[in-house]
Amino acid sequence: RKEVEQDPGPFNVPEGATVAFNCTYSNSASQSFFWYRQDCRKEPKLLMSVYSSGNEDGRFTAQLNRASQYISLLIRDSKLSDSATYLCVVSLGSGYNKLIFGAGTRLAVHP
Amino acid sequence: SAVISQKPSRDICQRGTSLTIQCQVDSQVTMMFWYRQQPGQSLTLIATANQGSEATYESGFVIDKFPISRPNLTFSTLTVSNMSPEDSSIYLCSVGSSSKFYEQYFGPGTRLTVT
């Protein structure tokens, strides 16, 4: 079983749609959770950290369910510029800082 | 977040040769990391570059193949030694955030092709 698993994608959605990505992780000792965005031939950029209480940043909402070891990202009112690969990332924390990346889910927003 | 640069941005190398990749940060950072992203794959951590001590390598990566230097708090190098076509990848350095300990920010990457 992979340490971090994501929806296979790709997701093809029209502008304005709401899209949700899911992610599960296998290590219950994981402490920190993130969503990164990676554009084609670019480096990953941190989109948002995910907190236990859930958090929102504009059109983006992230949720964490520790009991189910499940992370989600919701994008509302999709824009063409949201087209990218979204990476679910987990860390054991505790000072070690190793990031474990999911394979990514590709999103294509069309007019 | 810190500004991170990498050199070279890309290179095409012959098998059996070595390439050293540089990572420069515009501020002092405690932790620097080196990742590999093979074609069509996600990122895999190669090693953590510790200032003043040996790098810590992940399973599957060894110092003889990927020697790392970390001479100060703003700079690190990764060497890919005795290259083969299987080493063709993007190599990225990252740094830990100074304010949010577990967040990492990535350099632009070095695209390596081995022929």
- Dump pLDDT digits (tens) for B78-115: 999 999 999 999 999 999 876 776 788 999 999 999 99
The pLDDT assigned to B51 comes to 82
- Judging contacts by C-beta atoms under 8 Å, the chain B residues touching residue A99 are 33, 43, 45, 94, 104
**What would the pLDDT profile of B29-77 be if each residue is shown by its tens digit?**
888 999 999 988 889 999 999 888 889 999 999 999 999 999 999 999 9
Q: What is the pLDDT of residue B1?
A: 72
> pLDDT (tens digit, 9 = 90+) per residue, A6-64?
987 899 999 999 999 999 999 998 888 999 999 998 999 999 999 888 899 999 999 99
Residues with Cβ within 8 Å of residue B59, at least 6 apart in sequence: none
In whole angstroms, give the CA distance from residue B115 to residue B31: 33
Residue B33 and residue B94 in contact, taking contact as beta carbons nearer than 8 Å: yes
Residue of chain B with shortest Cα separation from A39 = B108
Is the previous residue joined to B8 through a cis bond, with omega within 30 degrees of 0?
Answer: yes
Residues 6 or more apart whose CB falls under 8 angstroms from that of A23 comprise A4, A5, A6, A7, A70, A71, A72, A73, A88, A102
Taking 60 as the threshold, does the pLDDT of residue A95 lie above it?
A: no
Any chain B CB within 8 A of the CB of A102?
Answer: yes
Q: What's the DSSP call for residue B86? A: G
Shortest distance, CA A1 to any CA of chain B (angstroms): 16
Q: Would you say A76 and A56 are in contact if contact means Cβ atoms under 8 Å apart? A: no
